[in-house]
């Protein structure tokens, strides 16, 4: 087996990572047999199962429905791919504290190769280093197994085949030792597909050694590329360099202040000191700034994090500083800032010249977007919203607000009949009780509008019994002043409310 261009290579495995994530999400399931399923259906396939489930005969590959026949206590849920990806990303970041070069396995979530070269200068031994890595992972809630050797395939196979122990790693002193151990590894540990494994088992090929004796071309023809690749890796015919995950984004600048700074004007200048080199760096990469995160670390460890997003990717420092100024003006910086961190996110810049040929629309969307960006900068990112129609019965359930990041092209459509109600109160206004006898009338908008002179209704809306039952009788009421109101009687709360007004 050939080495992987590094002197020392380690492989760390987090057994059944998706299941570990599931148990982090559902800690109350810990005492039960648990499984991750590919879909939330009775015929969903079990992908990973815990030890308790295994002891009950519940194995990966079974259908959830069949597995339930073995234990009615089985708990199962899906683990979305994005959740696994996020976890892998976080694990890479955690591992990067122990080595700059980390390669997550593309085919198996929870397997990582780490360049362990030169670490003996920092750690007493590789075993100690391994313990430190595993301890760090354990601190963030993961169980792991680690092997340190010389080859990608060897470390992987050993990590997969090793039994869990509390501390340390399996460390090989020389390549021959690793090779001998690798050959003894049962085949079912090395990530072959279940179909391939079944067939090889039928052929009485059960260890890595047996597998490596088979002809490579025969493997490729019968079992496909994946098995062939593993075979080649095992025999050393395939050499693959370590492909580490990129290090953290470098578009970051930090400024430590000797004295705390409370003055926003001074802070603005400090921001400028950091922003300019960030913009230069983006420019050198052919990028423009998409957003910038300003972290103001205060005394006593408190931090204020502000995300500034221009209307479009830009390198215009003046415009950006304008947005930062607006945000700083609305901030209360107390106690003072002791450390300032700025992280820029860039995107590839567009070709400005192309815009010259675009016909200018009547509505200046760019100007609108710039204005919105300023509003966002001044009042926060969630303040600019727009209404979206929803499919509910209750007036407040017929629309919702969503954040608006940019103004879209207007696409007006014909409304067959305009709604009678022009002023809608999302939070209905509590009205005085309607007197049983109304000598002076029912005043819903104060004395100035006079009492209710006429009402039309009721129009009944009820439902939501599965959550919180609602029962409302709606009326249109006409006041003596001639104005029309939309009111309802909430039967559950026994109160009258005003929901809106008619124009």
Partner 1 sequence: MYAPLWCKTNYSFLEGASHPEELVEEAHRLGLRSLAITDRDGLYGIVRAHVKAKELGIHLIIGAEVSVGEPINPKTQKETPCTKVILLAQNRAGYSELCKLLTVGRRRSHKGVSRVLWPEVCAHSEGVIALWVGEGDAKRSAGLPEMKAVFGDRLYAMLPRHLLAEEQDREAHVRAHAAMHRVPLVACNEVLYHTRARRPLQDVLTCIRHGTTLSTAGRVLRGNSEYDLKNPHLVNALFRDDEAALARTLEIAERCTFSMDEIRYRYPSERLPDGKTTTEWLRDLTMDGARKRYGGEIPDDTLAQLNKELDLIEYLDYGGYFLTMWDIVQTCHAKNILCQGRGSAANSAVCFCLGITAVDPVRMGLLFERFLSKERAEPPDIDLDIEHDRREEVIQHMYTKYGRNHAAMVANVIRYRSRSAIRDVGKALGLRETDLDRVTKLLSHYHDDDVAGVLEQSGMDVKASVYSQLSDLSTEILDFPRHLSIHPGGFLLGHEPVSTLVPIENATMENRTVIQWDKDDVEALGLFKVDLLGLGALSHLHRCFDLLSKHRGVELSSATVPDGDTKTYDMICRGDTVGVFQIESRAQMAMLPRLLPRTYYDIVIQVSIVRPGPITGGMVHPYLRRRSGEEEVDYPHECLIPVLKKTLGIPLFQEQVMKLAVVAADYTPGEADQLRRDMAAWRRSGRMEGHRERLIARMKAKGIAEEFAERVFKQICGFGEYGFPESHAASFALISYVGSYLKCHYPEVFTCGLLNSLPMGFYAASTLVEDAKRHRVEVRPIDIAMSEWDCTLEGRAIRMGARYVKGLQDIEWKRVADARSASRFVSVEDITIRAGINERSLVALAESGAFAPLQPSRRNALWESKGLAASPAVPMPVETESVPAFQLMSDAESIHWDYQRTGHSTHGHPLGPLRAQLRRQNLPDAKTLYGLRDGQYVHYAGLVICRQRPGTASGVTFMTLEDETGFVNVVLWKDTFEKNSIIAKTQSFLGVSGKLQVQDGVIHLVADKLWRPDTQLTPTIQSRDFH
For the chain, counts of helices (H) and of strands (E): 14, 19
Instruction: Tell me: does residue 195 bind partner 1 (CB under 8 A).
Output: no
**Stretch 19-38: interaction string toward partner 1, x if CB under 8 A:** ------------------x-
Residues in region 124-143 near partner 1 by CB under 8 A:
none
Distance CA 94, CA 136 (A): 8
CB 470 within 8 A of CB 464: yes
Instruction: Tell me: does residue 413 bind partner 1 (CB under 8 A).
Output: no
Residues in region 249-288 near partner 1 by CB under 8 A:
none
Instruction: Tell me: does residue 474 bind partner 1 (CB under 8 A).
Output: yes
Which position among 74, 137, 192, 373 is part of the footprint of partner 1 (CB under 8 A)?
Answer: 74
Q: How far is the CB of 64 from partner 1 (least distance, A)?
A: 6
Instruction: Tell me: does residue 105 bind partner 1 (CB under 8 A).
Output: no
Q: Which stretch binds partner 1 (CB under 8 A): 64-72, 94-102, 245-253, 366-374?
A: 64-72
Q: How far is the CB of 403 from partner 1 (least distance, A)?
A: 21
Distance CA 471, CA 461 (A): 6
Tell me which DSSP letter residue 93 carries: H
Instruction: Tell me: does residue 433 bind partner 1 (CB under 8 A).
Output: no
Residues in region 364-403 near partner 1 by CB under 8 A:
390-393, 397
Q: Determine how many CB atoms are found less than 10 A away from the CB of residue 69.
A: 12
CB 454 within 8 A of CB 441: no
Which position among 26, 30, 57, 90 is part of the footprint of partner 1 (CB under 8 A)?
Answer: 57
Burial class (CB in 10 A: 0-12, 13-18, 19+), 389: exposed
Q: Which stretch binds partner 1 (CB under 8 A): 96-104, 217-225, 273-281, 293-301?
A: 217-225
Instruction: Tell me: does residue 461 bind partner 1 (CB under 8 A).
Output: yes
User: Residue 27 or residue 301: which is nearer to partner 1 going by CB?
Assistant: 27
Q: How far is the CB of 293 from partner 1 (least distance, A)?
A: 35
Which position among 357, 466, 482, 494 is part of the footprint of partner 1 (CB under 8 A)?
Answer: 466
Coil, strand, or helix at residue 46? strand
CB 485 within 8 A of CB 445: yes
**Nearest to 313, CA basis, from 284, 271, 282:** 282
Longest Cα–Cα distance of the chain, Å, equals 103
CB 223 within 8 A of CB 211: no
Which position among 52, 60, 73, 321 is part of the footprint of partner 1 (CB under 8 A)?
Answer: 73
User: Residue 159 or residue 477: which is nearer to partner 1 going by CB?
Assistant: 477
Instruction: Tell me: does residue 497 bind partner 1 (CB under 8 A).
Output: no
Instruction: Tell me: does residue 69 bind partner 1 (CB under 8 A).
Output: yes
The torsion angles phi and psi of 261, rounded to 5 degrees, stand at -120, 120
Distance CA 467, CA 477 (A): 30
Q: What is the size of the binding site for partner 1 (CB under 8 A)?
A: 48
**Nearest to 436, CA basis, from 496, 482, 477, 488:** 496
User: Residue 199 or residue 270: which is nearer to partner 1 going by CB?
Assistant: 199
Q: Determine how many CB atoms are found less than 10 A away from the CB of residue 450.
A: 17
Instruction: Tell me: does residue 213 bind partner 1 (CB under 8 A).
Output: yes
User: Residue 284 or residue 391: which is nearer to partner 1 going by CB?
Assistant: 391
CB under 8 Å to 200, separation ≥6 — which residues?
187, 192, 206, 211, 223
The CA-based angle 493-499-502, given to 5 degrees, is: 150
Distance CA 14, CA 36 (A): 15
Q: How far is the CB of 196 from partner 1 (least distance, A)?
A: 11
Instruction: Tell me: does residue 426 bind partner 1 (CB under 8 A).
Output: no
Question: Beta-strand (E) ranges in 85-144?
Answer: 102-104, 111-115
Instruction: Tell me: does residue 463 bind partner 1 (CB under 8 A).
Output: yes
Q: How far is the CB of 1 from partner 1 (least distance, A)?
A: 21
Tokens (6 digits) for 325: 């100024």
Q: Which residue has the tokens 């990582």?
A: 112
Q: Which stretch binds partner 1 (CB under 8 A): 40-48, 165-173, 294-302, 322-330?
A: 40-48
User: Residue 366 or residue 425: which is nearer to partner 1 going by CB?
Assistant: 425
Q: Is the dihedral of CA 370, 375, 377, 378 positive or negative?
A: positive
Which position among 3, 45, 71, 326 is part of the footprint of partner 1 (CB under 8 A)?
Answer: 71
Instruction: Tell me: does residue 462 bind partner 1 (CB under 8 A).
Output: yes
CB 188 within 8 A of CB 104: no
Q: Which stretch binds partner 1 (CB under 8 A): 100-108, 377-385, 466-474, 487-495?
A: 466-474
Instruction: Tell me: does residue 300 bind partner 1 (CB under 8 A).
Output: no
Q: How far is the CB of 234 from partner 1 (least distance, A)?
A: 16
**Nearest to 89, CA basis, from 17, 8, 178, 194:** 17
C-alpha of 31 from chain center: 28
Q: Would you tell me which residues interact with partner 1 (CB under 8 A)?
A: 37, 40-42, 44, 56-57, 64-65, 68-77, 199, 202-205, 213-215, 217-218, 221-222, 390-393, 397, 416-417, 458-463, 465-467, 474
């Amino acid at each position: 087996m050939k080495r992987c261009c590094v002197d020392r290579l380690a492989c760390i495995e987090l057994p059944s990572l998706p299941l570990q994530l599931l148990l982090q999400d559902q800690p109350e399931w810990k005492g039960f047999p648990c499984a991750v399923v590919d879909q939330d259906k009775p015929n969903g396939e079990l992908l990973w199962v815990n030890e308790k489930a295994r002891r009950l005969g519940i194995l990966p590959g079974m259908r959830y429905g069949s597995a339930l026949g073995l234990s009615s206590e089985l708990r199962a849920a899906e683990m979305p791919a994005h959740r696994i990806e996020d976890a892998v990303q976080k694990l890479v970041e955690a591992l990067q504290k122990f080595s700059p070069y980390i390669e997550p396995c593309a085919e198996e979530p929870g397997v990582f190769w780490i360049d362990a070269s030169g670490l003996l200068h920092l750690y007493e031994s590789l075993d100690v280093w391994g313990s430190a890595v595993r301890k760090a992972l354990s601190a963030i809630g993961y169980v792991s197994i680690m092997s340190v050797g010389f080859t990608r395939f060897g470390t992987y196979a050993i990590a997969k085949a090793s039994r869990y122990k509390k501390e340390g790693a399996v460390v090989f002193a020389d390549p021959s030792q690793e090779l001998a151990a690798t050959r003894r590894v049962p085949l079912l540990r090395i990530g072959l597909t279940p179909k391939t494994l079944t067939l090889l088992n039928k052929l009485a090929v059960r260890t890595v050694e047996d597998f490596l004796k088979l002809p490579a071309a025969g493997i490729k023809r019968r079992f496909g590329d994946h098995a062939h690749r593993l075979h080649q890796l095992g025999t050393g015919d395939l050499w693959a360099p370590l492909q580490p995950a990129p290090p953290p984004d470098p578009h970051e600048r930090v400024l430590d202040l000797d004295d705390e700074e409370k003055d926003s004007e001074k802070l603005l200048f400090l921001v400028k000191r950091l922003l300019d080199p960030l913009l230069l760096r983006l420019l050198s990469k052919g990028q423009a700034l998409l957003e910038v995160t300003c972290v103001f670390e205060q005394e006593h460890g408190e931090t204020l994090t502000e995300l500034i997003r221009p209307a479009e990717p830009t390198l215009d420092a003046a415009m950006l500083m304008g947005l930062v100024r607006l945000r700083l003006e609305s901030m209360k910086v107390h106690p003072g800032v002791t450390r300032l961190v700025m992280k820029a996110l860039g995107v590839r810049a567009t070709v400005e010249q192309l815009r010259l040929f675009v016909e200018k629309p009547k509505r200046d969307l760019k100007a609108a977007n710039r204005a919105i960006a300023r509003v966002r900068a001044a009042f926060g990112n969630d303040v600019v919203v727009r209404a979206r129609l929803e499919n509910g019965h209750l007036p407040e359930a017929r629309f919702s607000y969503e954040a608006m990041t940019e103004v879209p092209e207007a696409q007006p459509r014909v409304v067959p009949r305009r709604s009678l109600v022009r002023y809608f109160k999302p939070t209905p206004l509590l009205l005085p009780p309607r007197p049983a006898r109304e000598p002076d009338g029912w005043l819903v908008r104060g004395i100035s509008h006079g009492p209710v002179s006429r009402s039309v209704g009721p129009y009944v809306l009820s439902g939501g019994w599965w959550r919180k039952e609602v029962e409302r009788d709606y009326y249109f009421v006409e006041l003596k002043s001639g104005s029309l109101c939309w009111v309802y009687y909430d039967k559950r709360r026994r109160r009258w409310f005003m929901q809106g007004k008619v124009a």
